[in-house]
Amino acid sequence: MKGITRKFIRINLSNGKIEEEAIPEPVETDFIGGRGFGIHYLYRELAPETDPLGEHNKMIFVAGPLAGTNAQAVSRWMVCTRSPLTGALARSVAGADFGAWIKFAGYEFILVEGKAERPVYIHLTRDACQIQPAGELWGKDTVVTQEWLSQRHGLNTRAACIGPGGENLVKYAAIVTNRRTASRCGVGAVMGSKNLKAIAINAERNLQLHDPEGFKQLVKQQIQMMMANKAFQHHREMGTTGNTENTNELGIFPTKNFRYGRLDDYEKLVGEEYLKHRIGDFGCYSCAARCGKVHRVTRGPYAGAQSEGPEYESIWAFSGTIENSYLEATIAADQLCDDMGIDTISTGNTIGFAYELYEKGLLTKKDTDGLELKYGNHKAMVALVGKIARREGIGDLLAEGTMRVAASIGKGAEAFAINAKGLELPAYEPRGAKSLGFNFATSNIGGSHSYGFATQEIFGALFPRKVDRFAEEENADIVVFNQNNVAVAEVGIACSFSRGWFPQVYDKLLIAATGIDKIAESGYLPRVGERIVNLERAFIVREGFGRKQDTLPQRMLSEPLHTRGAPGEGQTIRNLDKFLDRYYEIRGWTPQGIPSPEKLKELGLGYAVKDMAQSQNVKAT
Amino acid sequence: MSVQIDIPPLLRHLTDGATTAKVKGSTVGDCLNHFVGQYPRTKKLLFDKDGKLLRYVEVYVNKVTTYPEETAAPVNDGDEISIVYVIAGG
């Protein structure tokens, strides 16, 4: 029996109207929270073909039902909106404290709609919500902005804000809280388009749990399990910096804009090397892992640079992309991205793309403001980061992301644009980690590793089964499993690193927090995960996406991978069509990649059937 | 006594593509040493310079972790050893 009411706050920036709304019980039961609420409300509230940077796009800042509690690694939050980078769904996840603070304010999520006439920020407490002028903050970076808000509203303030990247509508701008980012899909640009500089929350810890005593006991169990878990211990020690050696040994560390699977002198960028620069660590709310490792540069051209990071993806973004092994440059570029509020992955990938265009003569020194984009030139790379955030010179073009840059330049540039559905690919080579590659192809947000990470082929994980990382359609079930499984974790919203730390406790924590007893039923949570992925799919089908867009960059389909001695030499994606046929069959989707009426009804999503029938994809077939 | 080791993706280029190996021993440590004897190049991705299991290598016997006993954990005839890299990435 539930004893709590869950609600959200709707804030309209156009007319200043602010209201609370209760979340109906059937929605809670079907979607539980977090990402489930995000897609449920976005699907229902957003009209198809809404301009992502227009007044009518909406943003959902959502925490999970476990956020703000003592439970470990479950206080993350995310933004759901329509992406200006891809035109598809944006689901962008972040850490630090902000998720807990959303809950302390009394809400499951904050829904922002409309557009302010001039720069504003939202100030939210448990008792009040105000839209405040932010003129003096406009143009300020994310550090200054957060400091200003803390000085104005007190040290107990937690803010999610944009920097110049979001203000300048960089298509892959991020939202920053502390030094953590909701970075993918351009959610910062959506905030910028609304003239919304920040959401600042002041609130004391104040939570309602369905079963507080039971929850307390479960947290004790959870902590005991984590302390006895080797993966947790390693993560606490190294964060993700240890992955560079692994992926280079596997031949899946994308190098020179995804032409090679190994960086020649990657040993200069392994975890032990970053350890030499480490000055501290940072943890998200109620997480003992403290996996954010803080690094400082003390000498050389980047002396003084300091960043919470780079973590694995950002290490790659500023090394493999341009064949750079000067570690200090990765710290400087990472810091600059976080200060300016732009996504490290898309930034690094786009810069790597620009270097290849330069190599091929499609960009010249005249185009690049005099910068020499020769592989290994890390100074030009760091300069480009700032130019992109400010949309200065060549940065104005690169701020559009690889898909639009390629379309703008033409002359075959598309062949070197490494994205899926317009979202730049991250730090894993699809030809050498094919389940992950096919996840990039089929993900409803585009080229995201975290949408369906394949631990089986990257780390040898045993669950649900072992996989051959070069197999294709044989692993379609694994891609489906991983995507659904991530969706389950993100109703929590549990950290993606934590999934193996406390598997037996997660669902019990959800029950104790929400009172949704059905979670205990066998197969219930996997079904919720499947429901979320299907509704997300329906969302992008409604926007015109289908089989044609479920693809990988031309390079992966036609050029053999070169691994410089690592395994996987000569691999390509052999038969994408065969994979898609099998994947859609398992999903219960049509051969065009559209959820079938039967599948939608089976998942309680019958309301989407009509939309699918009206979609362009169906009309086209 | 025969035990099977499932060779993880990270080691397969060092085992000529083999995905499993038959080893002998009464502990995980014995079995891993026997394995390294068959494929010496795998040693750098299993043990540190002091001969201790690398801090990011986790060994399972019949899908149950051996942590914290690790190399001291006993094995029986017919057991299956799996090696998982507990690295986080992304």
Question: Smallest Cβ distance to B90: which of A229, A250, A449?
Answer: A449
A329 contact partners, CB below 8 Å, separation of at least 6:
A302, A318, A378, A379, A381, A382
The SS3 assignment for A225 reads: helix
Token digits of residue A389: 């955030």
ipTM for the predicted complex comes to 0.91
Q: Is A449's Cβ below 8 Å from some Cβ in B?
A: yes
Question: Smallest Cβ distance to A312: which of B65, B68, B90?
Answer: B90
- Taking an 8 Å cut-off on Cβ atoms, the answer to whether A231 and B58 are in contact is yes
Give me the phi and psi of A144, to 5 degrees please.
Answer: -60, -40
Token digits of residue A253: 């560390």
Report which of A215, A241, A246, A239 is spatially closest to residue A461, judged by C-alpha positions. Answer: A246
- Shortest alpha-carbon distance between residue B19 and chain A (Å): 10
Question: Smallest Cβ distance to A250: which of B9, B60, B82?
Answer: B9
pTM of the full structure: 0.97
Strands across the sheet with B3-6, in order?
B20-23, B3-6, B80-85, B57-61, B64-65
Q: How much is the pLDDT for A619?
A: 40
Q: How much is the pLDDT for A503?
A: 83
User: pLDDT tens digit string along A318-333?
Assistant: 999 999 999 999 999 9
A17 contact partners, CB below 8 Å, separation of at least 6:
A10, A11
Question: Does the residue B43 lie in any domain?
Answer: yes
User: pLDDT class for A621, splitting at 50, 70, 90?
Assistant: very low
Q: What is the CATH number of the domain that holds B26?
A: 3.10.20.30
Mean pLDDT, chain A, rounded, equals 96
Q: How much is the pLDDT for A415?
A: 98
Question: Does the residue B33 lie in any domain?
Answer: yes
Look up residue A480 and give its amino acid.
V
Alpha carbon distance A483, A477 (integer Å):
10
Q: How much is the pLDDT for B88?
A: 84
Q: How much is the pLDDT for A5?
A: 77
User: pLDDT class for A3, splitting at 50, 70, 90?
Assistant: low
Q: How much is the pLDDT for A499?
A: 76
Alpha carbon distance B49, B46 (integer Å):
10
Helix count and strand count (H, E) for chain A: 26, 17
User: pLDDT tens digit string along A177-198?
Assistant: 999 999 999 999 999 999 999 9
Task: State yes or no: pLDDT of A582 exceeds 50.
Answer: yes
Alpha carbon distance A554, A543 (integer Å):
23
**Residues spanned by the domain of B7:** 3-85
Question: Does the residue B24 lie in any domain?
Answer: yes
Q: How much is the pLDDT for A4?
A: 75
Q: Mutation target for B interface from A230, A314, A425, A449: give the one with most B CBs within 10 A.
A: A230
* Percent of chain B with pLDDT strictly greater than 70: 100
Task: State yes or no: pLDDT of A125 exceeds 60.
Answer: yes
Alpha carbon distance A485, A533 (integer Å):
10
Residue of chain A whose Cα is closest to the Cα of B59: A230
Q: How much is the pLDDT for A402?
A: 98
Report which of A178, A173, A180, A289 is spatially closest to residue A240, judged by C-alpha positions. Answer: A289
Question: Smallest Cβ distance to B88: which of A250, A457, A497?
Answer: A497
CA-based torsion, B14, B16, B18, B19: positive or negative: positive
* Percent of chain A with pLDDT strictly greater than 70: 99
On chain A, the residues whose CB falls within 8 A of the CB of B56 are 234, 238, 242
Alpha carbon distance A64, A36 (integer Å):
9
Give the C-alpha distances (Å, rounded to integers) separating A472 from A383, A426, A477: 40, 20, 10
Q: Is A482's Cβ below 8 Å from some Cβ in B?
A: no
Mean pLDDT, chain B, rounded, equals 94
User: pLDDT tens digit string along A429-460?
Assistant: 999 999 999 999 999 999 999 999 999 998 88
User: pLDDT class for A500, splitting at 50, 70, 90?
Assistant: confident
| Helices A378-390 + A327-340 axis angle, to 10 | 0
Q: How much is the pLDDT for A620?
A: 42
Q: How much is the pLDDT for A436?
A: 98
Question: Does the residue B58 lie in any domain?
Answer: yes
- Mean pLDDT over A405-423 rounds to 98
- Taking an 8 Å cut-off on Cβ atoms, the answer to whether A234 and B67 are in contact is no
Question: Does the residue B13 lie in any domain?
Answer: yes
Q: How much is the pLDDT for A192?
A: 98
User: pLDDT tens digit string along A225-264?
Assistant: 999 999 999 999 999 999 999 999 999 999 999 999 999 9
Task: State yes or no: pLDDT of A216 exceeds 80.
Answer: yes
- Taking an 8 Å cut-off on Cβ atoms, the answer to whether B89 and A235 are in contact is no
User: DSSP per residue over A348-383, as a string?
Assistant: HHHHHHHHHHHHTTSS-TTTTTT----TT-HHHHHH
Question: Does the residue B15 lie in any domain?
Answer: yes
| CB neighbours of residue B62 within 10 Å | 11
Q: How much is the pLDDT for A617?
A: 52
Q: Please give the tally of structural domains in chain B.
A: 1
Question: Does the residue B90 lie in any domain?
Answer: no
User: Contact, A53 vs A263, CB < 8 A?
Assistant: no
User: Contact, A416 vs A392, CB < 8 A?
Assistant: no
Report which of A415, A407, A402, A404 is spatially closest to residue A352, judged by C-alpha positions. Answer: A402
User: pLDDT tens digit string along A542-577?
Assistant: 999 999 999 999 999 999 999 999 999 999 999 999
Alpha carbon distance A566, A569 (integer Å):
7
Task: State yes or no: pLDDT of A508 exceeds 80.
Answer: yes
- Shortest alpha-carbon distance between residue B32 and chain A (Å): 17
User: pLDDT tens digit string along A334-367?
Assistant: 999 999 999 999 999 999 999 999 999 999 999 9
- Shortest alpha-carbon distance between residue A599 and chain B (Å): 32
Q: How much is the pLDDT for A616?
A: 56
User: pLDDT class for A504, splitting at 50, 70, 90?
Assistant: confident
